Amino acid sequence: MDKVLDIDVQTAKAWLDNDEAILIDVREQDEYELAHIEGAHLLPLSEFDAEQVPDIRDKKIIMQCRSGARSHKAGVIAHDIDRPYTIYNMAGGILAWAASGYPVKE
């Protein structure tokens, strides 16, 4: 079973608003500083260590990047260390988030 599942930004926003998930931003520091989603934890893919992904059972883990490609890759890496839960990839990344009118911190 694929343990990295794509979700849309509307689902991600609902989960975050309801405190059902944590958001991990895998973009680089300079990208994060330009704009990021409030509350996102920065774990750049270039330095990605799956052991830094919180081992939590009571919340969903959402990976996010600019468009969804790097975050999916990070999700696969995190899954490969045998996490017993599904990791979600926010399809479209921060571009889709902003295009949906959701706030970003600049």
Sequence spans of domains, the chain? 4-99
With bands split at pLDDT 50, 70 and 90, how would you rate the model's confidence at 62? very high
Architecture of the domain spanning 4-99: 3-Layer(aba) Sandwich (3.40)
What is the per-residue pLDDT for 83? 63
Contact 63, 88 (CB under 8 A): yes
Triad 104, 46, 90: Cα angle to 5°:
40
Q: Would the pTM of this model clear 0.85, i.e. be above it?
A: yes
| pLDDT average, residue stretch 5-18 | 98
| pLDDT average, residue stretch 77-99 | 86
What is the per-residue pLDDT for 57? 77
For residue 55, give the DSSP letter. Answer: -
Half-sphere exposure of residue 68: CA atoms within 13 angstroms, side-chain side: 16
- Higher per-residue pLDDT: 31 or 84: 31
For residue 82, give the DSSP letter. Answer: T
* pLDDT at residue 1 greater than cutoff 60: no
- Whether 65 sits among the annotated catalytic residues: the reply is yes
* pLDDT at residue 82 greater than cutoff 80: no
- Higher per-residue pLDDT: 72 or 50: 72
Contact 53, 43 (CB under 8 A): yes
Which candidate, 40, 49, 41, 43, places its Cα nearest to that of 81?
49
Half-sphere exposure of residue 48: CA atoms within 13 angstroms, side-chain side: 24
Identify the active-site residue in 9, 23, 53, 65.
65
* pLDDT at residue 60 greater than cutoff 70: yes
